[in-house]
Amino acid sequence: MKSYFFLLLIMMFLSIDSTAQTTSYPKVLTVALDGSGNYKTIQSAIDAVRAYSPEHITINIKNGVYHEKIVVPAWVTNVSFVGESKEGTIIVNGDYSGKFMNADTVADKTKFGTFNSYTMYVHGNDISVKNITISNNAGRVGQAVALHVDGDRFEMENCNLLGNQDTLLTANDTARQYFVNCYIEGTTDFIFGNATAVFQNCTLKSLVESFITAASTTQQQQFGYVFQHCKLIADSSVKRTYLGRPWRAYAKVVFMDCEMDRNIRPEGWHNWGKAENEATAFYAEFNNTGAGANTEKRVAWSHVLSKNEAKQYTIENIFKGWKPAYGQGNITAK
């Protein structure tokens, strides 16, 4: 009798082990507010993804306004988020730096800071986002991030990033990030951080007279921000906007083949009140057009690339061998 139970126990363990080995994970998940998909929230779909998936996962998101604060953790990798439409698939949250994190402000006075004010935070590598609007609707209350990315090989195509101050945080000095056919708006420093990032065919809209970029590129990085074939526009009330200022001393920003509206200030760049930044920051332009593109009155410490210098700004050189799947996939100077 003991032998019988022993054999039965062994068979049960073998059965469990076999089941575990053959567990299959879905490659496509659908999120829909109306319950017609696999999940009703984006975060619940993310939480269901296999950690460090060896296979690519697609999370399709149906149209709707998703009031969520989303985190893609480091162990969620190799995932595409695809909205049904850019105009109809909206993720929105309203946290901002200085806002109390809890309702009981007497017992807990903890507040949000810039880095956790995000609507969506992407920490995992090999993440892509397409056809989605990501918004921080806190208003003009200070730093309020819509999208915070510090994952490597991040791609975003045909998306809207809406906010005011600090709309897009491109973090992590070892990260490579690519934005194509996107609309990004904000007030002050609305594209900021230390990642190596390329923006192609994007529209950047300044909502007030302030600064578009605040790069914090490190001294070790060869490239910082590269904008190509982008349109720089502004609200009708905006007359004078800086292209950027150095959040850190070695900021690097280049605008190539872009169309600049008349709101761009003749001097172009600002040193953030530190003259020493002028010797370390690298701000350059090449072959831009429009009323704001004239470089004759730019600050003396900025640069105009030669044609040979501009040819160094290729996807292969900038991203060190990584070629994004979306967009043109390359930069070629005219």
Q: Which residue has tokens 């363990």?
A: 13
Measured on CA atoms in the order 143, 146, 152, 153, is the torsion positive or negative? negative
The Cα 81–Cα 121 span in angstroms is 13
HSE (side-chain half, CA atoms, 13 Å) at 255: 27
Identify the three-state secondary structure at position 121. Answer: strand
Nearest residue to 258 (alpha-carbon basis) of 295, 207, 218: 295
Which residues fall within 8 angstroms of residue 175, CB to CB, at 6 or more apart? 149, 150, 151, 152, 154, 195, 196
Q: Is 104 a catalytic residue?
A: no
Q: 309-316: long-range contacts (C-beta < 8 A, 24 or more apart)? A: 309/284, 310/256, 310/286, 313/223, 313/226, 313/228, 313/254, 313/256, 315/198
Q: Is 126 a catalytic residue?
A: no
* The Cα angle at residue 25 between residues 19 and 26, in degrees rounded to 5: 140
Nearest residue to 167 (alpha-carbon basis) of 120, 218, 222, 98: 120
The single residue of 166, 173, 235, 261 carrying the catalytic annotation is 166
Identify the three-state secondary structure at position 182. Answer: coil
The single residue of 95, 150, 152, 189 carrying the catalytic annotation is 189
Catalytic residues: 166, 189
